């Protein structure tokens, strides 16, 4: 069932309800693509483990649907958590940095990395690529007020968008560089034949 909307307003409202962990557990590459799928009628409202029952209820209310339990196919709801890098084991491989959807991990190749706790969404995407298992997920001891949660979601959304924008620019720059190199090679090759 597709929901009626004017422009992207419905997508933006659905996206605002989602937790902005950008974890992909729902089967989409971030919260906004999931919001788009819900609005188009291509995804159910119960595919977001980080949002849990509270998120499902908010989505159901927004869309005029009956709430349903979290679909276990997509995972289980967990308390808010953050990544933590065990410094003594980190080898500086940068694999965690490459996958963090909100750029919450900083460091450089062959140097110690660290997580900016306030920026970490708890997505767990950094766990799998770490070759030395030096990343742990730790529960957050502080419970946020609704206002703090909203601010954290907004910040995560903006960081995700900024990262995606930066990645798109890097991809274009790389393609342009490759084209320039190819053109130079072809020109050199062509002049070498004459």
Q: What tens digit of pLDDT does each residue of 8-56 get?
A: 599 999 999 999 999 999 999 999 999 999 999 999 999 999 999 999 9
Same domain, 104 and 131: yes
Token look-up 């908010």 returns 58
User: Per-residue pLDDT tens for 109-161?
Assistant: 888 899 999 999 999 999 999 999 999 999 987 778 889 888 999 999 999 99
Q: Which phi and psi angles does 85 have, rounded to 5°?
A: -95, 125
How many domains are there within the chain?
3
Indicate whether 13 and 70 sit together in one domain: yes
Q: Are residues 137 and 148 in the same domain?
A: no
Give domain status of residue 42, yes or no: yes
Phi, psi of 122 (to 5 degrees): 75, 25
Please give the C-alpha separations between residue 141 and each of 53, 68, 79, 119, 166, in angstroms, as whole numbers: 21, 29, 10, 15, 32
Which residues are within 8 A (CB) of 162 and not within 5 positions of it... i.e. 6 or more apart?
103
176 and 123 in one domain? no
For 185, the 3-state DSSP assignment is: helix
- Report pTM: 0.82
Residue 56: inside a domain: yes
Does residue 2 form part of some domain? no
The answer to whether residues 113 and 98 belong to one domain is yes
- Tell whether 100 is covered by a domain: yes
Does 184 reside within a domain? yes
Asked if the structure places residue 4 within a domain, the reply is: no
Beta-carbon contacts of residue 134 (< 8 Å; ≥ 6 apart): 85, 86, 87, 88, 89, 90, 91
Report the pLDDT value the prediction gives residue 6, as an integer from 0 to 100.
45
Nearest to 20 by CA among 107, 105, 119: 119
Domain at 123, CATH number = 3.30.70.20
CATH of the domain at 49: 1.10.15.40
pLDDT at res. 192: 67
Tens-digit pLDDT profile for residues 153-185? 999 999 999 999 999 999 999 999 998 988 888
Residues 132 and 92 in one domain: yes
At 40, list the tokens. Answer: 């188009």
Token pair of 12 as six digits: 């933006």
Which residue segment(s) compose the domain that 136 sits in?
Answer: 79-141
Q: Which residues pair with 106 in a beta bridge?
A: 114
Element spanning 106, H or E: strand 105-106
Q: Which residues pair with 139 in a beta bridge?
A: 81
């Amino acid at each position: 069932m597709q929901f009626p909307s004017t422009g992207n307003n419905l997508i933006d409202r659905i996206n605002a309800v989602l937790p902005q962990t950008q974890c992909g557990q729902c089967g989409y590459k971030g919260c906004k693509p999931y919001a788009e799928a819900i609005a188009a009628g291509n995804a159910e409202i119960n595919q977001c483990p980080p949002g849990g029952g509270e998120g499902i209820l908010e989505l159901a209310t927004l869309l005029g649907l009956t709430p349903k339990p979290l679909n276990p196919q997509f995972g289980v709801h967990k308390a808010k958590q953050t990544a933590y890098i065990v410094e003594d084991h980190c080898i500086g491989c940068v694999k965690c940095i490459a996958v963090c959807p909100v750029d919450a991990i900083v460091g450089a190749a062959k140097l110690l990395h660290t997580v900016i706790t306030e920026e970490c969404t708890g997505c767990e995407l950094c766990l799998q690529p770490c070759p030395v298992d030096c990343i742990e997920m730790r529960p957050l001891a502080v419970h946020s007020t609704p206002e703090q949660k909203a601010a954290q979601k907004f910040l995560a959304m903006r960081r995700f968008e900024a990262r995606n924008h930066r990645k798109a620019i890097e991809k274009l720059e790389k393609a342009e560089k490759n084209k320039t190199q190819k053109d130079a090679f072809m020109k050199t090759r062509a002049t070498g034949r004459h």
